[in-house]
Structure 1
């Protein structure tokens, strides 16, 4: 009746996602929760209800949540159960603060303070749940996939009553759920055992891992999102990072730094000598300082080694200017791109040229030094933008080129002209926007590639 009356008053509610979620969650609670709590006689009633209510709402809203997010929330059930006790007090105290503000600002402030702390606890629970490795599993938002998910939700809803009646079945299901949140989804065949280089699918950005040893890797750029790069760490089972290289300070290269620093032991963070954009550079400094991690800009020509990884710094060379900015970009953005750290790196017999977002002028300056650019793998500069120096590409002699770009990105990366340039020079082009994360393998001198799209 409530739903019908609301739709009669405001028909447009029927087209809103928020209303659909509220209706489905309420329906799930009314239809399932009381029955589940009633049959769980082995469990104290308040605890049974604290589990049954969010579980019913979670299952009922599962297809709609997947449709708008492209993922199935795993930690949502636990987060809702933990946050539930604070929702009532936050609501009551919030309304009380509004009413008291007409009588006494001082009393309203006390009620508002209580409401704010209840809300803060809910926020902390949400962030903690989202930070778990298996917090959400990707799910395609296609009609068939959503139909399968809706059917699965109904079947699970019908099965919970049986689980609730038997203590050990319920405990076993709970343990399985917690384990899935702590470990994350397992992709068969990923990562391949003999991986040497992995370009993680971080969306529109860069995030590469160079294997330095068992459970150890050098990380070059960290993408825009801490959660995504953190998931890459978990999938590759990385437990320590000797060096994080941030080629330059654009957000799509440094935004995910908190997903590495503070999550696993980090030896050093390397950055471009050109500290711009200023805001992002300041955030990097603050984060590394708070974590007690050394921050430095390596010198041109500097060499070094960490486990199986060796490197040589090839750029930036000379002063940078805004002359290389792409159409629609500022001169400062072009200068920041050309200030990218460029490294030639070796990983257990393979060589890879890591180019950040360096553009034609920066590429030409590196070429002019006469330094050895030969590599087995080329990370396409600037996500494969259309602005490239063909001589720079040719000098690498690479067999494989990797374009790290986001699906359906607004920049058109990688540009068709750049893909043609690479393939025309005999390179096989691998793209994270089409193939997901890319792993380069090496066995008996033979180069191989595995992607998350074709992992088996």
Structure 2
């Protein structure tokens, strides 16, 4: 998504409709033909691309002939452009898609083969957000590395291959396809575009939708790594220096500034990332047209100040644009904006400053013809439709507001974010399954500081290597603006109903587009206004009773809530004092545990207990600490994985929160809550020293807690597996409880004897929907039902609350899935 249409587009927003020249639309049908042909080929096979290209050629030719006969040169030119682009869809696009479909690595991937290959890195590695049990900082234990295959070898030949290269490989497969590597963080995360590496990968089939022929899973580090091109190494040094210079700001601001300037979000906290997403501001860290326009605009203004001519000014801006693209990386939205910027600069030199629509169409055609995979890129789609919204919608709306006596500057400030929101909402709804209802307001508040922060940040990046002290001064100057963006995102994201869930996929996007068109029509036409009002009323009649007339949340008298945090644990225990609760584990995702605590109106947390240190139990720790008063962080005896222990201890030290141990026999008391530590009695030395990476060993270090509440006893068993369960049974520990938080998300590694010893009336399974681990196991749920437990799952019931029931029996209240 972008907030400007590129070089020259901003001037159209403020132009008087009477003075604005007629837009040149001749290239738009051609761009749609190219985009549609590539999209059809990627989704349904190369034959579809050929069919679309053939239809475009025939239709374009027929319309061109007819238009010439009728004396309509503009229509004839547009039709000829469609026909020419149809030919390009037939040959380059169809051929590229066919080559990817027929690539021999697809057959190897279908059989799950393992092959050594020589590859070249296409893009900077991206962290893979993972809810798994060994994930590192920010939920990333792996990185995604898009590569081009240079050569593939059989396993026997691999030992004889030297540096490798195109055409080598003897009897190896002949492939030059794209592969998406998934490798461990570390050396893989430090690779740069253009580097060649050798690797042995386990292949799996790739999903349709781009030119990737296989997904490769990598266990070890890259081998025989060549040096990256000098400009990529220089860009990496600059990005690293900018991160160092940003360290003079606060923690949130230091992680955010590199993302705003160059799209480097590696140090951005999960909490800030969640807040920007909820507020509809995440586009600010996805570098695209707005950044390009700001950078080039700043260079042009500087050139004008020193009285340089238009050609020299455009040349200087072009050099700055090229350097900025290398610094940021070759993301689809960046490339779209860069092509738009280059065409805009060319138009400036040639004296054609009103050619925004042809520039956008040419950018779409050129980029998709060069790389057909752009057709299915969400970043590319958002960038294009946002630019289209600013070209076609914003000027009209700004003029309409001005006609109603809204001051000109305010009219444009209102029209631009609304137009961008309306244009991109259908795409976001279809792809992400949610819509931010506060996006327009948040962008209005953020807009005044975006340009100054970007200019200061780019200048700081330029000085970060030769003059670090000067760069830090510029970072300090940008600091207040960055802090303002954090405040806007935090407050906007905290508004009730800030994010609305929406059906994902094609139908969700089409439905959102229909609503957007209806809303725009309702604002313009009286009859459409009446139809929209009737439709909205009918929708409210159907949806309001079941969704809003139900009992409020949280239920009165709740004692324990299993938060729906996805594939992880997040348990909240009421202490008996309003607004105060103990939290046991914080899930993998900062956003989900934060939302759950907000729904429960928890403002003070006397204790955050972490059963063990896997990421699906500690990933959301920052979110609990942000904006709440926390008394202490408690951990069990395990210190593995070591990275997680360092993260937790560092966080506690920075936030000045005491770090305490959960030792067996310890009892903690509050007004209406008592917490006992029942286990583990034994923890292997390697796990205590932070040296164990074995998932089962780490799971068995989970602290086992029993809470006494007004609704009965609640056994919180972390992720303990067979060994730890057997140890508790052998020691004859009293495990009896009315409510059980089922161990390890209901995995099959649960002893029936353990469940029988607890004999719960309610069993809470904290589990992510459609997870890849097979949780919960049918064997475990059957065993729970056999002992008389009511089994409740967060993936199906959302947040699960236990309240006092009739007599000694607790009762269960499900909130239901939802935001």
The bucket for the TM-score relative to the shorter chain is 0.7 to 0.9
> Structure 2 stretches of 5 or more lacking a match?
1-357, 526-546
Does residue 23 (structure 1) correspond to residue 384 (structure 2)? The answer is: yes
Give the C-alpha shift of residue 349 in structure 1: 3.5
Q: Which residue of 2 aligns with 1:176?
A: none
Q: Which residue of 2 aligns with 1:32?
A: 393
Residue by residue over 1:303-358, the C-alpha shift from the partner in whole angstroms, topping out at 9 and shown as x without a partner, is 221121112110011233789xxxxxx76322221111101111113111100011
Give the C-alpha shift of residue 390 in structure 1: 1.4
Partners in 2 of 1:391 and 1:58 — Cα distance? 56
Give the C-alpha shift of residue 402 in structure 1: 1.2
Contact 2:802 2:813 in 1 (8 A): yes
Partners in 2 of 1:94 and 1:300 — Cα distance? 51
Does residue 4 (structure 1) correspond to residue 361 (structure 2)? The answer is: yes
Does residue 129 (structure 1) correspond to residue 489 (structure 2)? The answer is: yes
Partners in 2 of 1:350 and 1:291 — Cα distance? 34
Matches within 5 A, 1:176-187: none
2:721 aligned to which of 341, 346, 359: 359
Contact 1:353 1:375 in 2 (8 A): yes
Contact 1:262 1:291 in 2 (8 A): no
Partners in 1 of 2:661 and 2:471 — Cα distance? 51
Q: SS in structure 1 opposite 2:556?
A: coil
Distance 1:118 1:53, change over 3 A: farther
Give the C-alpha shift of residue 412 in structure 1: 1.3
Does residue 386 (structure 1) correspond to residue 748 (structure 2)? The answer is: yes
Partners in 2 of 1:129 and 1:94 — Cα distance? 19
* Structure of larger gyration radius: 2
Q: Which residue of 1 aligns with 2:407?
A: 44
Partners in 1 of 2:781 and 2:426 — Cα distance? 38
Matches within 5 A, 1:44-63: 44-63=407-426
Residue by residue over 1:356-415, the C-alpha shift from the partner in whole angstroms, topping out at 9 and shown as x without a partner, is 011111111111222221111111111111111211110011011111111111211112
Give the C-alpha shift of residue 85 in structure 1: 4.2
Distance 1:286 1:226, change over 3 A: same
Matches within 5 A, 1:419-438: 419-438=781-800
Which moved further from structure 2: 69-78 or 87-96? 87-96
Partners in 1 of 2:654 and 2:472 — Cα distance? 32
1:227 aligned to which of 591, 597, 616: 591
Contact 2:421 2:440 in 1 (8 A): yes
1:149 aligned to which of 492, 508, 512: 512
Contact 1:76 1:129 in 2 (8 A): no
Partners in 1 of 2:594 and 2:457 — Cα distance? 36
Partners in 2 of 1:122 and 1:257 — Cα distance? 23
Q: SS in structure 2 opposite 1:346?
A: strand
Matches within 5 A, 1:230-245: 230-245=594-609
Contact 1:243 1:266 in 2 (8 A): yes
Residue by residue over 1:1-47, the C-alpha shift from the partner in whole angstroms, topping out at 9 and shown as x without a partner, is 33432343344243332232122212222333233333434543222
Q: Which residue of 2 aligns with 1:174?
A: none
Distance 1:85 1:239, change over 3 A: closer
1:401 aligned to which of 754, 759, 763: 763
Partners in 2 of 1:369 and 1:346 — Cα distance? 21
Q: SS in structure 2 opposite 1:449?
A: strand
Distance 1:91 1:194, change over 3 A: closer
Partners in 2 of 1:227 and 1:267 — Cα distance? 21
Contact 2:745 2:776 in 1 (8 A): yes
Partners in 2 of 1:341 and 1:269 — Cα distance? 13
Partners in 1 of 2:549 and 2:596 — Cα distance? 12
Give the C-alpha shift of residue 122 in structure 1: 6.1
Partners in 2 of 1:217 and 1:94 — Cα distance? 41
Give the C-alpha shift of residue 79 in structure 1: 3.8
1:198 aligned to which of 536, 558, 561: 561
Count of aligned positions: 423
Q: Which residue of 1 aligns with 2:683?
A: 319
Does residue 417 (structure 1) correspond to residue 779 (structure 2)? The answer is: yes
Contact 1:97 1:109 in 2 (8 A): no
Give the C-alpha shift of residue 124 in structure 1: 6.8
Does residue 299 (structure 1) correspond to residue 656 (structure 2)? The answer is: no
Q: SS in structure 2 opposite 1:210?
A: strand
Does residue 282 (structure 1) correspond to residue 637 (structure 2)? The answer is: no
Q: Which residue of 2 aligns with 1:84?
A: 447
Q: Which residue of 2 aligns with 1:444?
A: 806
TM-score (norm 1): 0.82
Give the C-alpha shift of residue 257 in structure 1: 0.9
Partners in 1 of 2:634 and 2:665 — Cα distance? 14
Q: SS in structure 2 opposite 1:195?
A: coil
Q: Which residue of 2 aligns with 1:181?
A: none
Partners in 2 of 1:112 and 1:2 — Cα distance? 38
Give the C-alpha shift of residue 283 in structure 1: 1.5
Contact 2:593 2:624 in 1 (8 A): yes
Partners in 2 of 1:114 and 1:158 — Cα distance? 46
Q: SS in structure 1 opposite 2:575?
A: strand
Residue by residue over 1:200-227, the C-alpha shift from the partner in whole angstroms, topping out at 9 and shown as x without a partner, is 1111110011111222211110011222
Q: Which residue of 1 aligns with 2:711?
A: 349
Give the C-alpha shift of residue 432 in structure 1: 1.2
Partners in 1 of 2:634 and 2:458 — Cα distance? 50
Partners in 1 of 2:587 and 2:817 — Cα distance? 23
Which moved further from structure 2: 417-426 or 12-21? 12-21
Contact 1:242 1:306 in 2 (8 A): no
Give the C-alpha shift of residue 51 in structure 1: 2.3
Partners in 1 of 2:783 and 2:706 — Cα distance? 21
Distance 1:116 1:6, change over 3 A: farther
Q: SS in structure 2 opposite 1:441?
A: strand
Q: Which residue of 1 aligns with 2:130?
A: none
Partners in 1 of 2:621 and 2:470 — Cα distance? 38
